Amino acid sequence: MVMTVEVLTSELVVPAEPTPGGSIWLSNLDLAGRRGYTPTVYFFRPNNGSDESTEGFFSPEAMKASLARALVAFYPLAGRLGLDAASGRVQVDCTAEGVVFATARCQDYSLEDLMNEFVPCDAMRDLLVPPTPPPNPPCALLFVQVTRMRCGGAVLGQAMHHSVVDARGAALFFETWAGISRGAKDCLPVPPCFDHTLLAARPAPARAVLYDHPEYKPEPAPVDPVSASAAYASAIITVTKQQVAALRARCVGASTFRAVVALVWQCACRARGLASNAETRLYSMVDMRARLDPPLPAGYFGNAVVRTSVSATVDEIVSSPVVHAARLARAATSQGDDYARSLVDYLEGVDTMNLPRSGISRAHLRAISWMGMSLSDADFGWGAPAFMGPALMYYSGFVYVMNAPGKDGALALVLSLEPDSMPEFRKVFADELARLHL
């Protein structure tokens, strides 16, 4: 891709009103996540494909004004990652210093050109999302860039610090910002909750680590060379509403996410040419907000996801009906309050800085659901995005399952695999989708 983006301005946007000071304590789940920024992109067509007026369409003044108002409610984002003076524990310092807001333009690509070629990768992240500093204290927590395309369309790229919030919380912020921008009457549908002590470890006598939690331990050295690799090829694949329905019919009792991930797992094992007796592990991330007892507030703004996994032999996955892999996926995504509390207690006794974060073995897969994030919630006043997704993939073996834009009931798979595995995966996956209707 020969696309160039010229950055025009970069400045700090601060809350529109005075906000609380002090610091926000971060939970073990915040500290156990990847310490870094999560970059995503939103693509907006000019006129949203209609003849309606585009007055003020993503104008820097309008976007900065609505962002400043959103930061009043989400004031921690305008602060900085800091350290507790006594313990050295990472926290959020509510300094109101602001978030980075950049504007840019691309004169050689239309939005349609970009959408035809876009896949998450380092190059896309570098073009469409502002550069970020090392993710350690003190650092800003949110970076935003609005890029105007040759056709008049816009790309909203952002990078939010993962130690502060997970994807669900980030979506709540952007829903609120978008609501303010378009003038919604109720632009704060769910008030954010910054009380991370709701996920604090229990006092020492009451702590109970009931599970092994292998997802938070380093992988043992592999017997054969199937180690993790930073090199990856990425793809965006649409699964139609009819294909989703046919797949769910094959996986009775499984959720849509589990059924789709089961098929991806099968096809990835085949495409990678793994030994039949090799172990393959499916990792997932489970949002615990509604699973805790009592549940977390709906607007909990922090990391409330836990890593889970299930393993099998490659032969077990590829030789069994897809429903078997779906049942295994259910075992990795059905944990409740006791599991989450066990994990928080376990993390209290380990150095969170030394947890594994660098990737997974070539034999494994990490699946994440973004299905609950409605694109219509990111309407800034000029229509819903034509696409939203990650700007890059961190390593090979990632798969996001999302609702496909503009296609009711269809799903978009955003995935990364080893460059030598991706062509075969595409073929195998397409063949399996075609067979669903036989």
Structure tokens at 191: 């008030």
Q: 103 is written with which tokens?
A: 């504007």
Q: What is the pLDDT of residue 357?
A: 64
Q: Which residues contact 408 (CB under 8 A, 6 or more apart)?
A: 241
Domain spans of the chain, in order of start = 8-193, 211-217+227-435
- CATH second-level architecture of 211-217+227-435? 2-Layer Sandwich (3.30)
State pTM to two decimals: 0.93
Tens digit of pLDDT at every position of the chain (438 positions): 588 999 999 999 999 999 999 999 999 999 998 889 999 999 999 865 544 446 689 999 999 999 999 999 999 999 999 999 999 999 999 999 999 999 999 999 999 999 999 999 999 999 999 999 999 999 999 999 999 999 999 999 999 999 999 999 999 999 999 999 998 877 777 899 999 999 999 998 888 898 888 888 876 544 444 445 568 999 999 999 999 999 999 999 899 999 999 999 999 999 999 999 999 999 998 899 999 999 999 999 999 999 899 999 999 999 999 999 999 988 777 788 999 999 999 999 888 877 766 678 899 999 999 987 776 788 999 999 999 999 999 899 999 999 988 767 899 999 999 999 999 999 999 999 999 875
pLDDT at 31: 93
> If you write DSSP's letter for every residue of 222-280 in order, what string do you get?
PSSS----S--EEEEEEE-HHHHHHHHHHSTT--HHHHHHHHHHHHHHHHTT--TTSEE
Distance between CA atoms of 202 and 207, rounded to whole angstroms?
5
Place of tokens 């992988």: 219
Residues facing 325 on adjacent strands? none
Cβ contact 81:163 at 8 Å = yes
* 8-193 shares its CATH topology with 211-217+227-435: yes
User: Which residues, 6+ apart, have CB-to-CB distance to 297 below 8 Å?
Assistant: 193, 198
Q: What's the gap between Cα 24 and its chain centre? A: 23
Residue 232 structure tokens: 């990856």
Backbone angles phi, psi at 348, to 5 degrees: -65, -25
DSSP letters for 327-387: HHHHHHS---HHHHHHHHHHHHTS-GGGS--S---TT-EEEEE-TT--GGGG--SS---SE
* Joined tokens for residue 169: 């919380």
Q: Provide the edge-to-edge strand list for the sheet that holds 305-313.
A: 233-239, 411-417, 398-403, 365-369, 279-287, 305-313
Separation in Å, CA 181 to CA 72, 184, 186, 206, 415:
14, 8, 12, 47, 32
CA–CA separation, 31 vs 29, rounded Å? Answer: 5
Which residues contact residue 86 at a Cβ distance below 8 angstroms, ignoring those fewer than 6 apart?
A: none
CB 339, CB 331: distance < 8 Å = no
Cis peptide leading into 220, omega within 30 of 0? no
Fold of 8-193: Chloramphenicol Acetyltransferase (3.30.559)
Helix (H) or strand (E) holding 121: none
Q: Give me the active site residues, please.
A: 162, 379
Cβ atoms < 10 Å from Cβ of 172 = 24
Cα 57 from Cα 281, distance rounded (Å): 46
Give CA–CA dist 141/135, Å, rounded.
9
For residues 37 and 161, is the Cβ–Cβ distance under 8 A?
Answer: yes
Q: Residue 426: which H helix or E strand, with range?
A: helix 422-435
In the prediction, which pLDDT does 434 show?
Answer: 92
**First and final C-alpha spacing in the chain:** 38
Distance of CA 135 to the CA centre of its chain: 17
